[in-house]
Amino acid sequence: LLDVSWYTESMRDGYPVEIQDRHKLQEPVVSDSEVIPFSVPGYACQRRTTLENHNSVLTDALSLLAENAELSDEDGRGVAFRRAAAVLKALPSAVTHVSQLTGLPCLGEHSLRVIKDILKNGTSSEVESTKASERFKALKVLTGIFGVGAKTADRWIREGIHNLQQLRSSGQTLNRAQQAGLEHYADIRQPVSTAEAEAIRGLVERAVASVLPGAQIVLTGGFRRGKLTGHDVDFLITHPEEGREVGLMPKLVSWLDSRGLLLYQKTSRNSYLESQDGPGRPPSNIDRFERCLSIFKLSTPEAAKTDLQDAAENGVQSEEDGESQSGELGQHLQRKAASERRWRAVRVDLVVSPVSQFAFALLGWTGSKLFERELRRWAGHERGMSLSSHALYDNKQVKRCTECRLTRLDKLAYLTTITFLKANL
Ligand code: DCT
Ligand code: MG
């Protein structure tokens, strides 16, 4: 089970064979009548949630309110809206009447009010007013800059900064990440395609093969769940021989950097020490693997050319940026950029894990964030266990599940593969 190849060999059509067969037995029952209430299990990690969402109008609305709550530092409210959206994403058909929702978990008063509003009027007044609010728009623009979180954005807004132009002329001191984020803003806001993720995988594979032959790489995050686009590309790297992965990240980064493939990188070291963070202290939800947050310079001759030529021909400007380069000079500059630029900036996360923690790391880095949160909640409340991206602990025995590694990992591997079916939480 510790052989990394197991995870890919047991797949069929991108989904784990065993899980596909199990789920044939667990197909959700589609009700004949619209008034028969839906029924779903309480924890999001217990539900089958494919990429096919029959309630996207409702879930988009709830996700927007979740985003607004998260950007306003109200995480509790954010999770409540995310959980409500996840329930609707798991339903086998579109909700047509609010009575179908009777008895469903995670649908609080506030979420139900929004749903009712949309079912009745086609839109939710709260969602529409949030969308239109200057504060929400400014928070979106500013936190869209790599390296800028909700707190920084809030401080800037209080100082009268609402867009990139105002930020640039404000004289604010930006850290290295924020400077890179501002410089590559438009590229980073543009979704990364599967083809681009594959191209980056190729680069990382070459780099890893050259600095540590035998090391293995898995594309994680949303792309591993089958999503067609993402905001970044996530990789998990390990070596089948425990300990060989030590020192890999600096070599990998320097290989990439020396070939001009990195526009920005910041590596944080592995700070997980089992002797200290073991049974005595339950592992934190935030993992402590060696991790490199980076911005890759990806050569995209055709794509970059086409996009920029379009921009030059149409005089397109970034909506968020609020900076127009209209007129002849602007068009000239854009044409010049179009003819010169043959690359785009892409956010990439590289994570290195010792092989003994690989199953947990893979599970944690496959996401989605809500699925991970729910899985940990389920493990704690229903199984008396603590799960992190490093280990699984039995709370009653207060020890790491190592001697029962095969049985525990067996279950964990099963859970890991389940994440394929949770793509749309
Ligand atoms: N993750 C985690 N701890 C973090 C960051 C992320 O456990 N501090 C997990 C949860 C999801 C996964 O790693 C990848 O994170 P993202 O790239 O943020 O999410 P995603 O699902 O890949 O979404 P996107 O497609 O937008 O990149
Ligand atoms: Mg991702």
Which atom belonging to ligand 1 lies closest to the Cα atom of 365?
13
232 CB near ligand 1 (under 6 Å)? yes
Q: Is 0.95 surpassed by the pTM of this model?
A: no
Give the chain as a 3 state SS string: CCCCHHHHHCEECCEEHHHHHHHHHCCCCCCCCCCCCCCCCCCHHHCCCCCCCCCHHHHHHHHHHHHHHHHCCCHHHHHHHHHHHHHHHCCCCCCCCHHHHCCCCCCCHHHHHHHHHHHHHCCCHHHHHHHHCHHHHHHHHHHCCCCCCHHHHHHHHHCCCCCHHHHHCCCCCCCHHHHHHHHCHHHHHCCEEHHHHHHHHHHHHHHHHHHCCCCEEEECHHHHCCCCEECCEEEEEECCCCCCCCCHHHHHHHHHHHCCCEEEEEEECCCCCHHHHCCCCCCCCCCCCEEEEEEEEEECHHHHHHHHHHHHHHCCCCCCCCCCCCHHHHHHHHHHHHHHCCEEEEEEEEEECCHHHHHHHHHHHHCCHHHHHHHHHHHHHHHCEEECCCCEEECCCCEECCCCHHHHHHHHHHHHHHHHHHCCC
Residue nearest to atom 11 of ligand 1 (CA): 367
Q: What was the pLDDT predicted at 345? A: 98
Per-residue pLDDT tens over the stretch 274-319? 555 554 444 455 678 999 999 999 998 654 444 444 444 443 344 4
Q: Per the annotation, does 232 bind a ligand?
A: yes
How far is ligand 2, taken at its centre, from the CA of residue 368, in Å? 9
Q: Mark the ranges of the chain whose per-residue pLDDT is less than 70.
A: 1-35, 271-286, 301-339, 398-425
- Does 234 belong to an annotated binding site? yes
Report which protein residue has its CA nearest ligand 1's atom 17.
221
Q: Which atom of ligand 1 is the closest one to the Cα of 369?
A: 10
